Chains A and B, each alone.
Chain A
Amino acid sequence: MFGYIRPLECELKVREQQEYRAHYCGVCKTIGKRYGQIDRLTLSYDAAFLAAFLSALNGKASFSRGNCGPRCYRGKRPIADPSPAQEYAADVNVLLAWYKTDDDLLDEKKAASAASRIALRPAHKKAARRYPELDKALHESMDRLHGIEKAGVSSTDEPSDTFGQFLMAVIRFAPALPENERRACEWMFYNLGKWVYLIDAWDDREKDEKDGAYNPFLLSGMQLEDAEFLLNITLAEAEKAYDLIAIDPPSGLIDNIMRLGLRSVQRRVLQQEGCCKAGKTPPTDKGDIR
């Protein structure tokens, strides 16, 4: 369900691309520091977006050049310095990964999901201790989603709402969130969450049909045109909320993600160009430009 929130890299300025990668590396390093090396594998684009967004919102991010532990063959490159935004993104990343295995286990019942669940358990415990309220909110959203899946609701509104609430909780508990931006941020993340759920459900139709798993698009028999319509409305709402958030100085990176990146991901998934599944593979920094 993760990895859909990312920039359209070929439209980024070199400096913005470096900034994005610096956040990505920064979150990865922070996960390693806070939870352990193995948990770095759970790193997702969404956490990098969260780190970049929170840093832009607070108007401060500093970078210093550093090495990547596992990829020591690579030269030094800019990495975001530790900050509350980085730490929160790392914690959220671990929580998201945990609830993803939860979801996978229910959907697929595969041994791999069970194994990753065991591997993630200590990290989740630690993250949940740091943010008990956030963990509770996420847990409730997932429970609600599972109830909806079990009931076989054929409308997209109910299941996507739970995931919208899920991401809304993520921004609600973010550190140093300016009070006057709170409402717009919550509406933006709510719609982002809805959009992620919908795009993922559309992307997974074939797989879900084969596995007999829950998918609102399969149940309602909704066609491409209507699905695109819903996705567009959801993105438009996220963008309207984003327009009302004061980011000073303006961030070309966040602008790119909100106005180009999401649209480009959506277009690729809807057109089924094959590379849409790239959203799920662990990100690499080679050839990510597409």
Chain B
Amino acid sequence: MNPYKVLGVSENATQEEIRAAYLELVKKYHPDKYTDNPLKELAGEKLKEINQAYEMLTKKQTTTGSSGAYGSSGGYSGSYNSGSYSRTNGSAYSGPNAAEFARARAYINQNNLNAARAILDGANVVHNAEWNYLYGVIYLRQGWYEKAYDCIRKAYEMNPNNPDYRNAYVSLNNSGRAYANGNDGGLDASPCCDICSALMCLNCCCGGDCC
């Protein structure tokens, strides 16, 4: 593995540049972004590779201090990298059908959505907040976002204090509104482009070479 390539920096990059590139990549592949995504494990592997590359490049330097790895000494490591669908601390579900919901969760972790759905569709399963949440995650992983949003919103409204429901609801809202204030601010509508396209037309008509 070429750590410079993994981080996308040149071989004579300074420690600050390396750290900036590293933080940028951590943000890009952050586990929170891929929580309910079918590609969760791939993102986890990618992050691991980035951590390794960063460690290799920072360990080369004798100085430690501020340029140390993000989080603990082992880079951005630990809790997130495991592929499991673990509960946020202290919020373990203990209501009715706890055993069924735990099994459904396990199936979702293995990306076995049909098996999870079969459990949730069972006759005696209550349709409470947890049920809506798990169904929402199944829909998310299968790419049915309209239904996913409905379910997760319901779960959140039934129990707004549950961190899992809240995180899923917030992250879905963020991703749905992310582009509303896009940074390319209507560039395609700028008058400059009209001039460009006019010139391009002219160029074409005159047998220009560039188009």
Give A contacts to B, CB under 8 Å. Answer: 8, 10-11, 14, 18, 21, 73-75, 77, 155-157, 161, 164, 183-184, 187, 190-191, 194, 228-230, 232-237, 240-241, 243-244, 260, 263-264, 266-268, 273, 285-290
Contacts and interface: CB of A to CB of B under 8 A. Distances in A.
A268 to B, nearest CB: 7
A10 B193 contact: yes
A244 B176 contact: no
B209 interface: yes
Contact of B200 (A190, A229, A263, A287): A287
A156 to B, nearest CB: 5
- Taking each of A77, A232, A288, which has the highest tally of chain B beta carbons within 10 Å of its own beta carbon? A232
A191 B28 CA distance: 19
The DSSP consensus for interface residues of chain B is: helix
Contacts of A237: 37, 143, 145, 175
A229 to B, nearest CB: 4
B196 interface: yes
A240 B27 CA distance: 12
A263 B207 contact: no
Contact of A8 (B143, B187, B204): B187
B158 to A, nearest CB: 21
A226 B177 CA distance: 10
B16 interface: no
A232 B178 CA distance: 7
Contacts of B193: 10, 289-290
A240 B201 contact: no
A8 B196 CA distance: 13
A218 to B, nearest CB: 15
Interface in B168-211: 172, 175-180, 182, 184, 186-189, 192-194, 196-198, 200-201, 204, 207-211
A222 to B, nearest CB: 9
